[in-house]
Amino acid sequence: MSKGFSDNEVKNDTEIKDVKKENKFLPSFIKDKKITYTLPSKKQQNILASIVLGLNGILLLIVILYLNNQKFHDFVLNIGR
């Protein structure tokens, strides 16, 4: 006998019934449909990652310009008024 397993079988004679409660807040056209979620494909993940990294790079450049360039700093302050 290996560790973690027993020779005795566990028998479940009772059936587990799926009890569904009515959700009163869902619109009528959604009640009968099953909502499923599929994971994005590798291509979609790469596109999303590229967008996020690109926007982070742009934000980093803007912060560096804001801290090091006085004209850009004044421009941002004037836009905020």
pLDDT tens string 7-40: 666 555 555 554 455 556 666 666 667 777 788 8
Please name the amino acid found at residue 28: S
List C-alpha distances in Å: 26 to 1, 13, 18, 34, 37: 52, 35, 20, 12, 18
Q: 10 vs 72, which has greater pLDDT?
A: 72
28 vs 69, residue with greater confidence: 69
Q: Where is pLDDT greater, at 44 or 81?
A: 44
Structural domain including 65 reads: 39-79
The answer to whether residue 43 sits within a structural domain is yes
Residue 31 lies in a domain: no
Answer whether residue 8 is part of any domain. Answer: no
Instruction: Look at the chain and report how many structural domains it folds into.
Output: 1
Average pLDDT, the chain: 79
Query: Can you give the pLDDT at residue 37?
Result: 76
What pLDDT shows up at residue 73?
94
pTM of the model: 0.52
Position 70 in a domain? yes
